[in-house]
Amino acid sequence: MRLQIRMSDGDGSELKDLYRWLRDDDDGPDEVRLDSDPTPGGMGGLEFVDVIVTQAVAVGNLALAYASWRSARCRSAARFTFARPSDGVTITVENAEPETVRRLVEALSAPDEAGVSGREPGGADGTG
């Protein structure tokens, strides 16, 4: 399963630090890369972390790695959006509280629901 992590605000330094944290985590995702969307008429684009996980337990490990990184390294109030491009499920988080990690795992572990754009399974908007 492919997931993307984007940072909603800030200069992107936290996103790059999260990328390095996930890349170096032995229990982290199977594949992690820093990528960007092309900007029409410009150079570069908005950066995101592209993650591939192959097992359901890997989503839980990703959420725990995010929470560990957030607690240990992130010094800002940045919001991060986790998205599953295959069906448009997204969830935006701004902390590493246990409830946030639970919601993150629940949203990203749910089966693909084609046509569910920008909505967390169950109808919530995923903000938190």
Residue-wise pLDDT tens digits, 42-97: 555 578 999 998 877 889 999 999 999 999 988 888 899 999 999 999 999 999 99
pLDDT at 89: 92
pLDDT at 103: 94
CA atoms of 109 and 122, how far apart (whole Å): 13
Model-wide pTM > 0.85: no
> Sign of the C-alpha dihedral, residues 95, 98, 101, 103?
negative
Name the CA dihedral angle for 79, 80, 82, 85, rounded to a multiple of 10 degrees. Answer: 100
Per residue in 100-125, pLDDT (tens digit) is 999 999 999 888 765 444 433 333 34
